[in-house]
A and B are shown apart, each in its own frame.
Chain A
């Protein structure tokens, strides 16, 4: 490789490494702001600001969904298996909203520690399955539970 080429190679490598390091540091410094939502355990630890628009994401706890029979109001608990936060929401829930499924909610944390949501988004996981297989899995789980 001739010296001129080597010089250019070094310059380009320097640019890539330099930009990479700068962006890496910036992202590391901003990581709290890049996270789309707070985890329930962060809320429980008091890391989330009160009465500011934030998002909370987690799994809907099985059996925690309470629907008001006279309105669209609903409350449910979200967990990340470390902490739990109660969410209150009035409106239509997305089709994929169900117990044991991940959701991301947007709203404000009130002073009682209840999250007053004005938007609920369903989060889909990376697993895909045909419905027959899901039924087979459920059946196997049931058989195990009765045994």
Chain B
């Protein structure tokens, strides 16, 4: 068991293996995203019942919550990749970290933006400096920091190391975002969904949300594989296997 996990781990750490195997994965994830996102959006925006207090404006949850959840998961993934990259010196981990950052930053921005749009009619303000909103804004700046480091440093290995350190240090922010609504008084409400409890929402409301979350995760996987494959080809352009690949593709 352990040795097969170790083998699997090292196989995915090889750029060539990653490049070859990721195509199938990205295709399947793309199909799931293509089914789930339109289904979830249409169901959530058109057919789910409206809320007894917020009316239709609550429907922004179908974009806001998946984006916010993904922005946080993506950062944890980057920190994990940074950890593997620093300790095991795996090239693929650096590639994944670099490729994930812009996707995570986009979703983080989307979560902040949809939250502000919802906050105006519900709370009466676009923005308030409470712990949840502020820590989420810090997450966006952390993403910007990672992207800036990656593009500011020419040498890919040095850039990867610097970004990995920033990711690992910044991951402290993730539990702060998660628990900010419980530790402090905030304007943002606590989580509607908890792993250990029944959701504070009926099924006809949370089912489309669940579909959206699955769709967004699938889309993230799809985009991440695509971007990583691109990055691998660029970084490994001098190796034999990439040259052979290019020759084969151009001959076909």
Contacts and interface: CB of A to CB of B under 8 A. Distances in A.
Interface of A: 5, 8-9, 12, 15-16, 19-20, 23, 27, 31, 34-37, 39, 57, 94-96, 101, 104, 119-134
A120 B123 CA distance: 9
Interface of B: 49-54, 58, 61, 83, 86-88, 121-125, 128-131, 165, 168-169, 171-172, 176, 183-187, 189-192, 200-202, 204-205
B192 A126 contact: yes
A5 B192 contact: no
A129 B49 CA distance: 8
A16 B171 contact: yes
Contacts of A104: 128, 187
Main secondary structure of the interface of B (DSSP, over half): loop
B185 A36 contact: yes
B60 to A, nearest CB: 12
A36 B187 contact: yes
Given A36-B184, A124-B54, 13 more contacts: A12-B83, A15-B165, A31-B183, A36-B128, A36-B130, A124-B189, A125-B190, A126-B189, A126-B191, A128-B202, A130-B202, A131-B49, A131-B51
A109 to B, nearest CB: 16
A95 B49 CA distance: 20
B124 A128 contact: no
Contacts of B122: 94-96, 122, 124
Nearest to B48: A130
Main secondary structure of the interface of A (DSSP, over half): mixed
Given A5-B88, A36-B186, A131-B52, A121 B121 contact: no
Contacts of B168: 12, 15-16
A118 B122 CA distance: 18
A19 B187 CA distance: 27
B206 to A, nearest CB: 8
B224 to A, nearest CB: 23
A39 B185 contact: yes
B185 A8 contact: no
A131 B122 CA distance: 17
A8 B205 contact: no
A9 B186 CA distance: 37
